[in-house]
Copies of this chain bind each other. A is one copy, B any other.
Amino acid sequence: MAHFTSLDELSTHEIERLIGRGLQLKQGAPVQPLPTKTVANLFFEHSTRTKCSFDMAEHHLGLHILPFETATSSVQKGETLLDTCKTLQAIGVDALVIRHGETGYYEQLQQQLSIPIINAGDGSGQHPSQSLLDLMTMYEAYGHVTGKTIVICGDLRHSRVARSNTQVLQRLGATVIGSGPREWFDETMGIAYRKMDEAVATSDIIMLLRVQHERHVDDYPFATEAYHERYGLTEKRMKWIRPDAIVLHPAPVNRGVEIAEALVEHPQSRIFDQMTNGVFARMAILERAFETSTTKETR
């Protein structure tokens, strides 16, 4: 069963194989269409990029997508996630892509289902398909991440992107540092903290995190402009970055907060490339889900 729930469960070899496959697909490598397979996308949290990107990846693989709207499902009658998934399995769905607010929601599902689960984000846990597309974007720029320095700036404490990325980047030989508000830095992640001016000037990859206004209704200590001045990628700081450094952001971007409006499409920004790469990263993930399933079936 080729679940895809966290990059921790994959060997570095497997991760690099997926990155390579994603880049091949971007260059037009042929795909084996899967028209007899059905997938359902269960998004219990808002999403544009991740949802649409999976939809597009599924389309490119010729998969059938079973429409599923969480808002009008029996989840509203109190049905558990497990029973909803078992129902979809009984109806003939071959794989499930799930985003859910509960961290680690997939633990129980993995044990009880016989179809693969692809984690599209769990609470403040993991967001492994985002990590894969981030890695793909870094490999596209540098060919590898060994010896590279990546600064992650922003709310590290609540970011599943930060958590997923830090672990895998370290395994792949990179140095990860943190920046942004100290209140939002997470000591337990085992990375060094640098002030923004220094971090930006000394990193190969500058990864900005979104200020999640929806999570910081009460405790958000900074006005938007003050945040930009102190912790954002301002036009002034942009002048200090290395000439081959690249800028990433998982989006949606708060323009003028994490990054100056004029820099979103700067030549060193890879923000829209990340979105494009996301489709190919997810195609690689979905191919893997069905490859292994097939192997298992024929055993």
Is A53 in the interface zone, CB < 8 Å from B?
A: yes
Residue A66 lies at the interface, judged by CB distance under 8 Å to chain B = yes
Interface centre among A49, A213, A253 (most CB of B within 10 A): A49
A residues 27-82 touching B (CB-CB < 8 Å): 38, 40, 43, 46-49, 51-53, 55-56, 59, 64-80
B74–A56 contact, CB under 8 A? no
What B residues does A68 contact at CB under 8 A?
48, 52
Whether A83 contacts B252 in the complex (CB less than 8 A), given A64-B59, A91-B278, comes out as: yes
CA–CA, A67 to B75, complex, Å? 21
User: For the complex, is A158 an interface residue (Cβ under 8 Å from B)?
Assistant: no
| Residues of chain B with a CB closer than 8 A to A40's CB | 52
- Closest B residue to A276 by beta carbon equals B90
A174 at the interface (CB under 8 A from B): no
Q: Which residues of B contact A252 (CB under 8 A)?
A: 74, 77-79, 83, 87
Contacting pair B74 A48 (CB below 8 A): yes
| B-side contacts of A276, CB under 8 Å | 90-92
A272 at interface, CB cutoff 8 A: yes
| CB <8 Å contact, A77 and B38 | no
Q: Are B253 and A83 in contact (CB under 8 A)?
A: yes
- C-alpha spacing A116/B159, complex, angstroms: 35
Closest to A277 in B: B90
Complexed CA–CA distance, A253 and B67 (Å): 22
CB distance from A209 to the nearest CB of B (A): 13
Task: Enumerate A67-122 residues with CB–CB distance to B below 8 Å.
Answer: 67-80, 83-84, 86-88, 90-93
- Tell me whether A279 is interfacial, beta carbon within 8 Å: yes
Does A10 count as interface, using CB distance less than 8 angstroms? no
Any B CB within 8 A of the CB of A268:
no
0/1 per residue, A228-270, Cβ < 8 Å to B? 0000000000000000000000011111000000000000000
What B residues does A87 contact at CB under 8 A? 48-49, 52, 251-252, 272, 275
How far, in whole Å, are A64 and B67 apart by their CA atoms in the complex?
13
Beta-carbon contact of B71 and A71 below 8 Å: yes
Let me know if B214 and A92 touch, CB within 8 A: no
23 A-B pairs with C-beta separation under 8 A: A38-B59, A46-B72, A46-B76, A48-B87, A49-B87, A51-B72, A52-B66, A52-B88, A52-B91, A56-B66, A56-B91, A59-B64, A65-B67, A69-B69, A69-B72, A71-B72, A74-B251, A74-B252, A77-B252, A90-B276, A91-B276, A91-B278, A91-B279
Shortest Cβ-Cβ A-B pairs, 4 listed: A90-B275, A79-B252, A48-B74, A48-B73
